[in-house]
Homo-oligomer: A and B are copies of this chain.
Amino acid sequence: MTLKEIAQRAGVSTATVSYVINNSGHISEETRKKVQDIIRQTGYRTNKLAGSLRKNRTGLIGILVEDITVWHTPYIIDGINRLADEKNCYTILSNLQMVRKIDNSFDKLTGFQKDIDKAVQTLLGLQVDGIIYIGMHDRLMDNVLRKAGKPVVYCYCYTADGEASSVRYDNEKAEYRITRNVIDRGHRRIALIGGYVTSEPARLRRKGFLKALQEAGITLPKSWDECGEYDFQKGKAAAIRILTGKDGGTKKDLLPRQERPTAMVAMNDEMALGVYNAAAELGLRIPEDLSVTGFDDAEFTQQLIPPLMTAQRPLHKMGYSALSLLLERIEDESEQVTNIIYPCRIIEGASVSDFRTGDSTVKDDRKTEENGT
């Protein structure tokens, strides 16, 4: 069933039918009703692609993801979908499947220009109006879509300022606020369990952590400045070293209270979980004997006992916002390049004790990120 056939049945021209369908032009109520009835009867559905051919606008958005199986990606896509539904645009998903190709090494995240170019060419061949690129690690990267010649927004990664719009979250401030929170509860002896040194979030989170310490006039002993490479086991090992002064110690190796930190700031939730484990092995209670914080708001943090204090990344909102920026640029090519950095929400789990009140139980009003972006 085509628009032409509808026109014939209704005894009007194709233009009239087109006007009715698109609410354009000036159509009499009578004609409109007649046409709509026939459309309903026949179950006619317009061929969007044919229209696009003429209009040179498809309403298609390319979502180019480095890897869809990486934890944050689907949440970002979900945010994109949310706005796409509102704006009647459609998403073509292109998945570079980098995890498989790089074998999980953070350092090989380059040299994919050929894969990317191919994916972009495909998307452009499908006449997408613009592209959102979702990174698998938050980082500064080449403007790999420079040649696209269509509006582009980077999400969960970014390029040199001014080159393209991007949407990120604020690593530094979030870690600062977490650390501040810990300090405000009376902690002065605080250790750090860091992520991959080459990773940008690790660098930023460290910066935020140190800033909070500095503001409070606290110094970080060298032996409390460990690296856990974002890994559970390594995080646990780091915690044990800090708490015992030895590699792989047990209960009896535990340092005297005044030589141990009262709190540990881990740069992600996995390592925080490692700290929980280390504490359990050493017979330390959380948070009475040791406070812990994480980062990322992994699902399991809600189920730990006690719940973990962590930072929730605004993933849904980042996706929503990325599409919003993209659509603006599609509407108006002259639109400014915009680089957005959203704050995280700090989830105040009960994993940090409060020395001021002596009460370690903290209100836990955690909700999942509001979808009402």
Q: Which residues of A come within 8 Å of B, CB atoms?
A: 45-50, 52-53, 58, 60, 63, 67-69, 73-75, 77-78, 81-82, 85, 90-95, 97, 100, 121-122, 124-127, 232-233, 270, 273, 277, 280, 300, 303, 305, 371
Contacts and interface: CB of A to CB of B under 8 A. Distances in A.
Contact of A233 (B49, B58, B60, B303): B303
A125 B47 contact: yes
Most buried by B among A85, A94, A127: A85
A147 B334 CA distance: 43
B95 A127 contact: no
A81 B100 contact: no
Contacts of A48: 125-127
Given A48-B126, A49-B52, A74-B74, 15 more contacts: A48-B127, A49-B53, A49-B127, A50-B53, A63-B93, A68-B78, A68-B81, A69-B74, A69-B78, A90-B94, A91-B92, A100-B371, A232-B303, A270-B303, A280-B280
24 contacts: A45-B121, A47-B53, A47-B125, A49-B49, A49-B53, A49-B58, A49-B127, A50-B53, A53-B53, A60-B126, A67-B78, A68-B74, A68-B81, A69-B75, A73-B74, A77-B93, A77-B95, A81-B94, A90-B94, A91-B92, A91-B94, A92-B92, A232-B303, A270-B303
A90 B126 contact: yes
Contacts of A78: 67-69, 95, 97
Nearest to A233: B303
A58 B49 CA distance: 10
A70 to B, nearest CB: 8
A43 to B, nearest CB: 9
Q: How many copies does the complex hold?
A: 2
A92 B58 CA distance: 13
Contacts of A100: 371
A305 to B, nearest CB: 7
A93 B95 contact: no
A270 B302 CA distance: 12
B233 A45 contact: no
A94 B60 CA distance: 12
Contacts of A232: 303
Nearest to A43: B147
Contacts of A371: 100
Nearest to A316: B69
Nearest to A62: B90
A273 B303 contact: yes
